[in-house]
């Protein structure tokens, strides 16, 4: 190679190395009862950043993650959002495991015209807070299965197994209450009136009253909307009552603090899943191997959270590359019109978003998982071969 060409190449490499990194916020519950979701999500996002940076970054710049623990608390999450925007000057954020946190903090990103991709929280209203024409543009996107999508799948699973006398049990958080609404709507659409609908406070240790009412009403299964610790209390209370009845619910039945705290009482629980920790494709097998190398344990604490975090950052990076910029409005517009397919862990995304639809996960993607021997597996073996 001519000397001048070598010098030019070295100069370009030096300039690329000197380019300031692209700062991306990562906000999630890295402590507390929701931490299996937050830590798994963060682990997936970190692996995506590694892969992107190893391939040359975005626009010739490396991605730098700015991580903050929102503790799963809406009040604290608002302060975290303010710090990431005002002090850390992030150009986008990926995160939000709790629906209440997402609804409280994403207003700051909308105000600042900064894209925010929700990677875990599932309340159906998350992507609907800032819809046009009331707002000129919506900066909130999601790579997780909305509860408006999950609830009909939960009901479908109950009906598939012949259960028509169902009880609904949910917590009093935004997540639980909004999930209950979606479940009741889905049940009504199938012509089913639940025999019992009960709500409890987060941290509740005694579920016996609600479950006794469900048993007296003749429930054939319990449909749940809450998170791991409370789900374990439900399963353990059922065992104490010697009432063996199926649990069917949202994706949170796959959380490690449900499976670990309920032990054998978790067996057979079924839930909606976007991703199951099964190396049934080379990309998934490599991701699982690398995740467990960096985060030792017998399994990923919340596999859907990890995969959704990974795919969220891939989609954000693809939008920045297409936009040729990290400018918020240009990245938002690119997300709404991604032209090149993005091969993710959950699916290959082809035009995942539009101006009127900011939900990347569509009805054909989720499957039903089941807890067997302390792991979540495919409830229906044929789903293992399905890769939307």
| Residue 160 dihedral angles phi and psi, to the nearest 5° | -60, -30
* Band of residue 17 on the pLDDT scale cut at 50, 70, 90: low
Q: Write down the pLDDT at residue 16.
A: 47
Give, as one character, the DSSP assignment of residue 359.
B
Q: Write down the pLDDT at residue 311.
A: 98
Q: Write down the pLDDT at residue 386.
A: 72
* Band of residue 1 on the pLDDT scale cut at 50, 70, 90: very low
Average pLDDT estimate for 60-76:
96
Structure tokens at 37: 């979701």
Q: Write down the pLDDT at residue 3.
A: 53
The closest alpha carbon to 239, from 214, 271, 207, belongs to 207
- C-alpha 70 chain-centroid distance: 15
Q: Write down the pLDDT at residue 205.
A: 79
Residue whose structure tokens are 């997780």: 144
pLDDT higher than threshold 90 for residue 4 = no
Q: Write down the pLDDT at residue 387.
A: 62
Using CA atoms, how far apart are residues 205 and 229, in angstroms rounded to an integer? Answer: 9
If one counts every other C-beta atom within 10 angstroms of the C-beta of residue 281, the result is: 11
17 HSE (CA, 13 A, CB side):
6
Q: Is 73 helix (H, G, I), strand (E, B) or coil?
A: coil
pLDDT digits (tens, 9 = 90+) for 177-194: 999 999 999 999 999 999
Q: Write down the pLDDT at residue 92.
A: 98
Say what the pTM is: 0.92
Average pLDDT estimate for 47-58:
98
- Over the chain, what is the mean pLDDT? 93
pLDDT higher than threshold 60 for residue 161 = yes
337 HSE (CA, 13 A, CB side):
8
- Residue by residue, DSSP assigns 225-262 as ES-HHHHHHHHHHHHHTT----EEESGGGG-HHHHHHH
Q: Write down the pLDDT at residue 231.
A: 95
User: Interior CA angle at 315 toward 309 and 319, to 5°?
Assistant: 145
pLDDT higher than threshold 80 for residue 361 = yes
pLDDT digits (tens, 9 = 90+) for 363-383: 999 999 999 999 999 999 999
If one counts every other C-beta atom within 10 angstroms of the C-beta of residue 208, the result is: 13
Task: Assess whether the previous peptide bond of 127 is cis (omega < 30° from 0).
Answer: no
pLDDT digits (tens, 9 = 90+) for 281-298: 999 999 999 999 999 888
| Residue 74 dihedral angles phi and psi, to the nearest 5° | -55, -40
The closest alpha carbon to 204, from 171, 173, 228, belongs to 171
Burial classification of residue 363, based on how many CB atoms lie within 10 Å of its CB (0-12 exposed, 13-18 middle, 19 or more buried): exposed
* Band of residue 169 on the pLDDT scale cut at 50, 70, 90: very high
pLDDT digits (tens, 9 = 90+) for 109-121: 999 999 999 999 9
pLDDT higher than threshold 60 for residue 56 = yes
Report whether 253 contacts 302 (CB < 8 A).
no
Report whether 258 contacts 252 (CB < 8 A).
yes
Structure tokens at 174: 């935004």
pLDDT higher than threshold 80 for residue 246 = yes
pLDDT digits (tens, 9 = 90+) for 202-238: 888 789 999 999 999 999 999 999 988 999 999 999 9
pLDDT higher than threshold 50 for residue 12 = no
Q: Write down the pLDDT at residue 15.
A: 47
If one counts every other C-beta atom within 10 angstroms of the C-beta of residue 235, the result is: 27
Report whether 221 contacts 166 (CB < 8 A).
yes
The closest alpha carbon to 312, from 36, 44, 127, belongs to 44
* Domains and their CATH numbers in the chain: 20-145+280-357 (3.40.50.2300), 148-273+368-385 (3.40.50.2300)
- Residue by residue, DSSP assigns 138-183 as --EEE-S--HHHHHHHHHHHHHHTT--SEEEEEESSHHHHHHHHHH
pLDDT digits (tens, 9 = 90+) for 140-158: 999 999 999 999 999 999 9
Report whether 118 contacts 95 (CB < 8 A).
yes
Q: Is 372 helix (H, G, I), strand (E, B) or coil?
A: strand
């Amino acid at each position: 190679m001519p000397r001048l060409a070598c010098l030019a190449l070295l100069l370009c490499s030096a300039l690329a190395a000197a380019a300031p990194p692209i700062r991306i916020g990562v906000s999630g519950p890295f402590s507390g009862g929701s931490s299996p979701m937050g830590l798994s999500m963060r682990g997936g996002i970190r692996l995506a950043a590694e892969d992107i940076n190893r391939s040359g970054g975005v626009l010739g710049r490396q991605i730098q993650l700015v991580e903050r623990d929102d503790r799963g608390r809406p009040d604290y999450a608002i302060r975290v959002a303010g710090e990431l925007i005002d002090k850390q000057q992030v150009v986008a954020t990926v995160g939000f495991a709790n629906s209440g946190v997402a609804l409280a903090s994403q207003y700051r990103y909308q105000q600042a015209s900064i894209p925010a991709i929700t990677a875990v929280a599932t309340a159906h209203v998350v992507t609907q807070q800032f819809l046009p024409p009331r707002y000129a543009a919506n900066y909130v996107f999601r790579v997780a299965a909305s509860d408006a999508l999950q609830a009909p799948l939960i009901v479908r699973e109950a009906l598939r197994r012949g259960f028509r006398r169902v009880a609904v049990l949910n917590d009093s958080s935004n997540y639980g209450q909004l999930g209950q609404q979606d479940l009741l709507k889905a049940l009504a659409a199938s012509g089913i009136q639940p025999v019992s609908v009960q709500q409890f406070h987060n941290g509740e240790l005694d579920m016996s009253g609600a479950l006794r009412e469900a048993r007296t009403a003749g429930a054939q299964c319990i449909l749940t909307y809450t998170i791991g610790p409370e789900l374990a209390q439900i399963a353990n209370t059922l065992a104490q009552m010697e009432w063996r009845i199926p649990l069917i619910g949202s994706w949170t039945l796959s959380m490690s603090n449900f499976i670990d705290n309920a032990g054998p009482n978790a067996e057979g629980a079924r839930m909606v899943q976007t991703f199951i920790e099964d190396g049934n494709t080379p990309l998934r097998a490599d991701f699982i191997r690398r995740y467990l190398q960096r985060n030792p344990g017998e399994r990923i604490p919340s596999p859907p959270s990890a995969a959704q975090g990974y795919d969220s950052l891939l989609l954000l990076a693809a939008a920045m590359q297409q936009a040729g910029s990290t400018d918020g409005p240009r990245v938002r517009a690119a997300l709404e019109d991604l032209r090149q397919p993005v091969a993710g862990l959950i699916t290959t995304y082809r035009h995942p978003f539009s101006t009127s639809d900011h939900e990347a996960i569509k009805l054909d993607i989720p499957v039903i998982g089941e807890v067997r021997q302390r792991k979540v597996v495919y409830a229906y073996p044929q789903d293992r071969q399905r890769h939307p």
